[in-house]
Amino acid sequence: MSTGEILRKAAQEQTALGQKTARYLEKGELVPDKVMVNLVAERLQDKDCSKGFILDGFPRTLAQADGLEAMMRERSLGLDCVLCFRVPPGVIIQRLAGRRTCRRCGTLFHVVFNPPRRRDICDRCDGELYQREDDREATVAARLRVYETQTAPLIEYYRKKGLVKEIDGDGSVEEIRNRVLGALEEISG
């Protein structure tokens, strides 16, 4: 589950909550912890999470990590591992600046590293590709600052619990996919 994806959908709704969410996303700021913890707790009730799940984009703060721990305890579950992708800042900026997302099915492309066959059209569903508002330069800088101050401390938090697996996130999609699969095999094997 990707919390960013859930929030982007919520932000499209013409409700007060949807509009409030959209303002956080546009600025690259974090949605309040309480909202996030409730949202994830609700999503974990869905049937597709019953045999296990991967959390993408959550937790992003120590308060969210505490919330997650409480949720897991309630279900008598434990986290298997935390993947930490190491990517040089220059590469992150290059990736975000060129990222294009399908409005209909959410498939990701990159104008240079993974271009669609037809410009601005999704290979998978013919949907329109767009650039996320928060992938624009000024917002990316704000998101990186938020990461450094609020999210990076989680690495130490989970390292102390012996859960962190570092992944070299610099490389092709295929290379990184293989590194992730290798790390996951280590824990399942």
Residue 123: exposed, middle, or buried by beta-carbon count in 10 A (0-12, 13-18, 19+)? middle
Nearer to ligand AMP, 139 or 165 (CB): 139
Q: Which residues pair with 56 in a beta bridge?
A: 2
CB 180 → ligand AMP: shortest distance, Å?
A: 16
Q: How far is the CB of 147 from ligand AMP (least distance, A)?
A: 9
- Local structure of residue 136 (DSSP, 8 states): S
- Compare residues 53 and 118 and give the one whose CB is closer to ligand AMP: 53
Helix ranges (H only) for 12-164 are 16-27, 33-43, 62-74, 89-98, 137-146, 153-160
Residues 180, 169: Cα–Cα separation, whole Å:
9
Q: How far is the CB of 93 from ligand AMP (least distance, A)?
A: 14
Q: Is 113 helix (H, G, I), strand (E, B) or coil?
A: coil
| Residue from 97, 105, 103 nearest 129 by CA | 103
- Is 122 or 140 the residue whose CB approaches ligand AMP more closely? 140
Between 143 and 179, name the residue whose CB sits nearer to ligand AMP.
143
Binding site for ligand AMP (CB under 6 A): 3-4, 7, 24-25, 28-31, 36, 57-58, 60, 64, 134, 143
Minimum CB distance to ligand AMP, residue 28 (Å): 5
Residue among 25 and 129 whose Cβ is closer to ligand AMP: 25
Return the residue nearest ligand AMP (CB atom): 4
Residue 16 beta carbon to ligand AMP: minimum distance, rounded to whole angstroms? 18
Cα 142 to Cα 11: distance, rounded to the nearest angstrom: 19
